[in-house]
Amino acid sequence: MSESTAASQRLAFFQNQLQNAPCAAEEPKIKTTMESMTEERQKATFDVRELTYFLDGGEKFTKIREKFMMELERDPTFRMYDMYDVTKDQIRERTMEKFRTIVHYVSAEPVPIFTMRMQTISLIDPGFWTRFGVHYGLFFGALRGSATSAQFSHWVSKGALALNGMVGCFAMTELGHGSNVAGLETTATFDEASDQFIIHTPTITATKWWIGGAAHTATHTVVFAQLIVRGKRYGTKSFVVQLRDTHTYKLMPGVNIGDIGKKMGRDGIDNGWIQFTNVRIPRTNMLMKHTKVSRAGEVKEPPMAQLTYGALIQGRVAMVVDSGNIAKKAVTIAGRYAAVRRQFSSNPHDAQETKLIDYAIHQYRLMPLLAQAYAFHFTGVETNKLYDDLMDKLESTQPDDETMGEVIDTLKETHATSAGLKAFCTWSTLSAIEACRQTLGGHGYSAYTGLATTYNDFAVHCTWEGDNTILTLQSGRYLVSCYREALAGKSQPEGVSYLNHLDTLLNLGCGVKTNEEILNFDVIQEAWGVVTANVVKKAGDDFEVSLKAGMSPEAAYEECSQARLAAAKIHSYGYIFRRFAQAVKSAPEKLQPVLTKLCLLYGLYSIEQNAGFFLQYRYFTPSQMDYVRGQVNVFCREVRQEYIPLIDAFNYSDYMINSPLGVYDGNIYEKYFDQVKRQNPVGGEHPYLPLIQSLLRRNIEDDEPLEDDDEDDE
Amino acid sequence: MSESTAASQRLAFFQNQLQNAPCAAEEPKIKTTMESMTEERQKATFDVRELTYFLDGGEKFTKIREKFMMELERDPTFRMYDMYDVTKDQIRERTMEKFRTIVHYVSAEPVPIFTMRMQTISLIDPGFWTRFGVHYGLFFGALRGSATSAQFSHWVSKGALALNGMVGCFAMTELGHGSNVAGLETTATFDEASDQFIIHTPTITATKWWIGGAAHTATHTVVFAQLIVRGKRYGTKSFVVQLRDTHTYKLMPGVNIGDIGKKMGRDGIDNGWIQFTNVRIPRTNMLMKHTKVSRAGEVKEPPMAQLTYGALIQGRVAMVVDSGNIAKKAVTIAGRYAAVRRQFSSNPHDAQETKLIDYAIHQYRLMPLLAQAYAFHFTGVETNKLYDDLMDKLESTQPDDETMGEVIDTLKETHATSAGLKAFCTWSTLSAIEACRQTLGGHGYSAYTGLATTYNDFAVHCTWEGDNTILTLQSGRYLVSCYREALAGKSQPEGVSYLNHLDTLLNLGCGVKTNEEILNFDVIQEAWGVVTANVVKKAGDDFEVSLKAGMSPEAAYEECSQARLAAAKIHSYGYIFRRFAQAVKSAPEKLQPVLTKLCLLYGLYSIEQNAGFFLQYRYFTPSQMDYVRGQVNVFCREVRQEYIPLIDAFNYSDYMINSPLGVYDGNIYEKYFDQVKRQNPVGGEHPYLPLIQSLLRRNIEDDEPLEDDDEDDE
């Protein structure tokens, strides 16, 4: 017998032993976490890949996203596994390193493709997304929106587009002033003698605050300041100011900048504060597309308030899209963990503990969030389309075109819709992230499992680009005005089309005869229509009462703010359900059954969460509401069957998920343990041995007082 | 004229100039933030100090708390202003430094006073509170609860009480096992030959995980492991195992320990993982108060399952108290900011912007949270009393006393109540912290304003010492069993006394005739009684249906879990309202008007939030519910009048608040700016100048390809 034959026989023997070992001992078969995951995948009744294509808008786009994921994963500056342990200073520097890679793509890729790349990056490294966005979205966006074409060319030639020779930031908010841009204190006073503006920070509260990129990155900024010419104030305008020497990075004279320091999240972005002390800039640094100041100090204001909504809408739409994407990440982590984590046993005959996901309450915690992630995804897609259509219209319509009125109406609608949706989707997603984090039990508190950081990074979405409460009130204000127009007989656009049927909806009452009728898109849509019409009517009527009592419109709006807030929230629920239902109807036939279940779950769960309104306005009877509650549980169970395939369809790579508990193969414990050990190697010296020794080995007798000696001195 | 007279005249002249300056220019008077705060204080209709005494349980206790605050503020190891910027390693070391101070007090102060000190510390440094609590609460608590008296004396003599010569930790949870203690995998196998136990971690999922103090602090641990004697398993018992040499801090043979690393919050505590590889300990290291193993390997199990509820209840009660305290901190920061921050103007004639707190929507965001903080405070006080009474009873009752049955009933009730309240109060407080953080607008995202860290530190309360969902289900299970007992005619204890009037409550229907009747403690209490009875009935009936369908009780409980969860939540609302109302009735007469408003606001707001149930069970009609909604706004406005005095009554020093936006004097902007500058000094070198220079000054031509030369080589 040759040596190699003997070796292979020994090998075969051991393999045999290993394979037979469990059977020989007749121990019950315990499934590994990977096996537990595999069995979930076998439950799919649809083709996961087909659903991915549908979500991405076609196979072509799926391929592009996969290309992005691979490129980022292999880029060493984009390594993410150690991000939870780096300090603020390290993360800042690393974020800067990434600029070079991305600058390469921004010049090579068409805008829609580059936008998709940035959407992918936002999921991986939201801090970088912001820091890069500050230059391109805010600084460059301000040039595009407010500079004359000569000014625009000038700054492009200086390197504003190529990000070569200059980096910009956007100095709007101040320490004492956020949402109210008209109330900013920084001044830009025209000095006729020198043909310059003097940019000045008059008080501590006028200090520019939260300025992304200011602390270490930007050489230039667009400053929002009060234009003052010959002693007269003309309101807030924007000015380009150089902050630093573009070679040495030393501050320019009169410019004082500091670091805002540690934040809740997104530490990759170097937010700073800026004070200007009589900083002089050429007159032509004022962005003069709208208001102009001549050499002689003549101020020419635009004939009508400029249409600057466009830029605002873009940011908000991006956040609706980001909400859907981040929500998908959160449910992926929580969902995969729930498929393989076992706890207690609901069946005493089972040798193994029960999967979390097989508990009714866990289904109730997760399945509606999965449905919501789908709902937000489709809403994001539709809102993007609305925005693109609007931009096309704006670009192709001249101020004196007949259709301009219609375009303005669309603009108003899109503005209000995106404001309401931005607030609604970011709030809901923030809660969803926290809810998902909590489903991880104790492990949700580890930085490495990802959702704590996701929460901290995401939270700022509720405040920036319009505080959510203020945006919701704006949306409510729009609804009140639409309601009043509808009462006056003016037909309302698609987003608020329910207002065109007020008479019917307000008098519909209990619209359903049998319980089973409820499980229907049209019925749920009608239910939301009735409730929304009523809640909007409530706000509109409150407003009317205040007006009749002699209040100014502003005061009347203030008086009905709680009603406006409620109206806007309920309106968003109905709007999102319609978008979801519409997307399901447009889906490939084979995908419809599973998507229909998801959509019904979303609709029923949302109704349950707002039961008060449906009962208040008597669309449902109490017993129908009981049925709805019951059906939420039924649909949770239904969706649970295929929830892993539904998660897989999001097609997020393990690199993007960046959580050992959300890995595709289900091997959660090994990967989690590996991650913890890699980031916190065992062994080594005790970090504060003398300190702990001196505590543990302290001489208690030292603490004892001198014994009191009652005897007199002798 | 003497020189000093001239100097004083000059001084007077300048002072006069300064004082007159604003008048001379006839500019409208703009209030400083401090003046804005002062005017709020003048609105108090009650004596703030008297309310503080009432909240603290008397002047004596207020004085003690003030002494604590001063001692901590002046202790250099407890400096907190720079905590938002220290690294995980620095915070770990600093947390250890604090041990020496506190060890001093633990030996000098009576337990109730020391408990108050720890409550104060929990607000200032929750990480330290936990790290210290691991030794005294968990390790030492386990000795007290599970060691025989001889064992207990042994460990005390080793230094367990004085924290001298040893520090303990508590090794219960494992990587793969949290809530299900019975499912732990670590084994403790008796080796008769050596009279030792062999402690062993058989798999990766059996690795002890999240063990507070294990990474760097503990020399000993109490391990939960499966007792195996002569091949037979006896379930999970506890064992003392030495982890490290108490002089060198080197690991003991067979012990492998690592750091769990970065967490969402509370980084001051060094959570670790532990693997035991056949670690041998003396048999007498098993804690044998209940189960005993003799030298000969005989296992003697206790006659009845041990009453270990006590320790669990204590931790949960502490978290109810902590919820109230942290909620007060959050509303103090948000409330004081809202009193001095101004934004937009609701009145065009006003020279100054409007205070946030004067907006209806801001009142709606904050006032219910203020009322809730008071509600949780009083609930904490009452729950503490319940716990103390229970402990007294348990200590004074012998197993064969006639009253033992009654004591067991009280134990069960307190256990279920504290479980439900722990979950309810920690969930609500976590949301309240986030809501308060968002009211700070952008500034809420700064680490220095405090609420981001407060959120991250507090979040773990929702998971540890019993996952909130599991606790809520337990509480719901208790309610179902009480409901079934009540149906069978057994009288139910105070906490669920509404079940003694099921017939009346279930058939009461719309209990109110005029709207005004609703503004009454008894009516609100009855309303909650009716709704709770109905929701509990729903869970009980669902359970019954499943039983009748042939399910096991376990399966039937699982089947009605969503109904149980709802029942427990609604029960907690009603319970907390009763505690609040009861406290108001016991308050000094002069405090009653303002506390009554707060309590009504809490009651009405809670009803509004759960409108669906009140309409579903027809306690209120839709038009009454509209009235409730309206009254919530009315009471928000009412409470707003005195909300700063109501916040001041919490009596938290600026040091405890540790947020420049929550300072007592209202000087928010200066203090915030100072804090940011102290932590991020201006000037100095650019942290990554070459990196940014190479990006900004890159030679674009380098990127350009060789021009294609179509000519043939010659």
B621 contacts: CB under 8 Å, gap ≥ 6? B510
Q: Are B235 and B279 in contact (CB under 8 A)?
A: no
Angle at CA A382, nearest 5°, toward A381 and A386? 120
pLDDT band at B703 (very low <50, low <70, confident <90, very high): low
Mean pLDDT over the full length of chain A? 92
Smallest Cα distance from A626 to chain B, Å: 9
- How large a percentage of chain A has pLDDT more than 90? 81
Record the tokens describing residue B543, joined without a space: 């359970």
Q: Which residues of A touch B433 (CB under 8 A)?
A: none
pTM for the model: 0.94
Is residue B59 over pLDDT 60? Answer: yes
pLDDT band at A403 (very low <50, low <70, confident <90, very high): confident
Which tens digit of pLDDT belongs to each residue from B516-551? 999 999 999 999 999 999 999 999 999 999 999 999
Nearest to B210 among A437, A442, A558 (CB): A442
Q: Which helix (H) or strand (E) holds A351?
A: none
Nearest to A463 among B273, B341, B438 (CB): B438
Residues 645-674 of A with CB under 8 A from B: 669-670, 672-673
Which tens digit of pLDDT belongs to each residue from A519-571? 999 999 999 999 999 999 999 999 999 999 999 999 999 999 999 999 999 99
What pLDDT, on the 0 to 100 scale, is given for residue B349? 74
Count the residues in chain A: 714
How far is C-alpha B147 from the chain's CA centre?
Answer: 30
Q: Is A565 on the interface with B (CB under 8 A)?
A: yes
A612 marked as part of a ligand binding site: no
* A70 residue type, one letter: M
Q: State whether A698 and B93 contact (CB < 8 Å).
A: no
Q: Is A185 a catalytic residue?
A: no
Which tens digit of pLDDT belongs to each residue from B592-651? 999 999 999 999 999 999 999 999 999 999 999 999 999 999 999 999 999 999 999 999
- How large a percentage of chain B has pLDDT more than 70? 93
Residues 251-310 of A with CB under 8 A from B: 256-265, 273
* CA atoms of B51 and B59, how far apart (whole Å): 10
Record the tokens describing residue B67, joined without a space: 């002494």
Smallest Cα distance from A276 to chain B, Å: 15
What pLDDT, on the 0 to 100 scale, is given for residue A351? 80
Q: Is B452 on the interface with A (CB under 8 A)?
A: yes
Q: What is the mean pLDDT of residues A677-687?
A: 93
Q: Which residues of B touch A468 (CB under 8 A)?
A: 438
Q: Is A162 on the interface with B (CB under 8 A)?
A: yes
Which tens digit of pLDDT belongs to each residue from B162-186? 899 999 999 999 999 988 889 999 9
Is residue A650 over pLDDT 90? Answer: yes
Q: Is A617 on the interface with B (CB under 8 A)?
A: yes
What pLDDT, on the 0 to 100 scale, is given for residue A14? 44
What pLDDT, on the 0 to 100 scale, is given for residue B351? 80
Q: State whether B445 and A258 contact (CB < 8 Å).
A: no
What pLDDT, on the 0 to 100 scale, is given for residue B65? 97
Q: Which residues of B touch A93 (CB under 8 A)?
A: 687-688, 691
Nearest to B258 among A464, A611, A677 (CB): A677
Which tens digit of pLDDT belongs to each residue from A103-141? 888 888 998 899 899 999 999 999 999 999 999 999 999
Q: Is B459 on the interface with A (CB under 8 A)?
A: yes
Interface A:B, Cβ pairs < 8 A: 328
Count the residues in chain B: 714
B173 marked as part of a ligand binding site: yes
Is residue A407 over pLDDT 70? Answer: yes
Is residue A6 over pLDDT 80? Answer: no
What pLDDT, on the 0 to 100 scale, is given for residue B96? 95
Q: From the CB of residue A590, how many other CB atoms can be counted at a distance below 10 Å?
A: 12
Place of tokens 């939960």: B224
Which tens digit of pLDDT belongs to each residue from A610-627? 999 999 999 999 999 999
Mean pLDDT over the full length of chain B? 92
Is residue B707 over pLDDT 90? Answer: no
Q: Which residues of B touch A159 (CB under 8 A)?
A: 696
Which tens digit of pLDDT belongs to each residue from A159-199? 999 899 999 999 999 999 988 889 999 999 999 999 999 99
Q: Which residues of B touch A259 (CB under 8 A)?
A: 676, 680
Is residue B664 over pLDDT 50? Answer: yes
Helix (H), strand (E) counts: chain A: 25, 11
Which tens digit of pLDDT belongs to each residue from A277-307? 999 999 999 999 999 999 999 999 887 655 5
What pLDDT, on the 0 to 100 scale, is given for residue A12? 46
Q: Is B207 left (phi over 0), alpha (psi -120 to 50) or beta?
A: beta
* CA atoms of A422 and A318, how far apart (whole Å): 9
Mutate to test the interface with A, among B262, B269, B637 (most CBs of A within 10 A): B262
Which tens digit of pLDDT belongs to each residue from A66-107? 999 999 999 999 999 999 999 999 999 999 999 988 988 888
What pLDDT, on the 0 to 100 scale, is given for residue A20? 43
Q: Is A680 on the interface with B (CB under 8 A)?
A: yes
Q: Which residues of B touch A100 (CB under 8 A)?
A: 695, 698
What pLDDT, on the 0 to 100 scale, is given for residue A509? 75
Q: Is A167 on the interface with B (CB under 8 A)?
A: yes
Q: What is the mean pLDDT of residues B232-242?
A: 97
Is residue A50 over pLDDT 60? Answer: yes
Q: Which residues of A touch B89 (CB under 8 A)?
A: 687
Nearest to B183 among A178, A353, A555 (CB): A353
* CA atoms of A683 and A362, how far apart (whole Å): 39
- How large a percentage of chain B has pLDDT more than 90? 81
Nearest to A445 among B97, B180, B463 (CB): B463
Distances in Å between the Cα of B495 and the Cα atoms of A594, B389, B522, B576 are: 45, 14, 16, 10
* CA atoms of A323 and A328, how far apart (whole Å): 9
Classify residue A511 by burial, with Cβ atoms within 10 Å: 0-12, 13-18, 19+. middle
Q: State whether B669 and A359 contact (CB < 8 Å).
A: no
Record the tokens describing residue B474, joined without a space: 């337990």
Q: From the CB of residue A555, how many other CB atoms can be counted at a distance below 10 Å?
A: 14
* Range of lowest pLDDT (A690-694, B56-60, B532-536): A690-694
* CA atoms of A133 and A524, how far apart (whole Å): 39
pLDDT band at A37 (very low <50, low <70, confident <90, very high): very high
Closest CA to A469 of B660, B436, B603: B436
ipTM of the complex, rounded to two decimals: 0.94
Q: State whether B669 and A205 contact (CB < 8 Å).
A: yes
Is residue B5 over pLDDT 60? Answer: no
Is residue B357 over pLDDT 90? Answer: yes
Q: Where are the extended beta strands (E) located within A12-91?
A: none
What pLDDT, on the 0 to 100 scale, is given for residue B79? 95
Nearest to A459 among B210, B365, B445 (CB): B445
Radius of gyration of chain A (CA): 30
DSSP helix/strand/coil, A269: coil
Radius of gyration of chain B (CA): 30
Q: What is the mean pLDDT of residues A390-401?
A: 84
Is residue B18 over pLDDT 60? Answer: no
Is residue A704 over pLDDT 70? Answer: no
Distances in Å between the Cα of B205 and the Cα atoms of A310, A667, B273, B275, B514 are: 53, 12, 11, 10, 61
* CA atoms of B482 and B491, how far apart (whole Å): 9
Q: State whether A204 and B175 contact (CB < 8 Å).
A: no
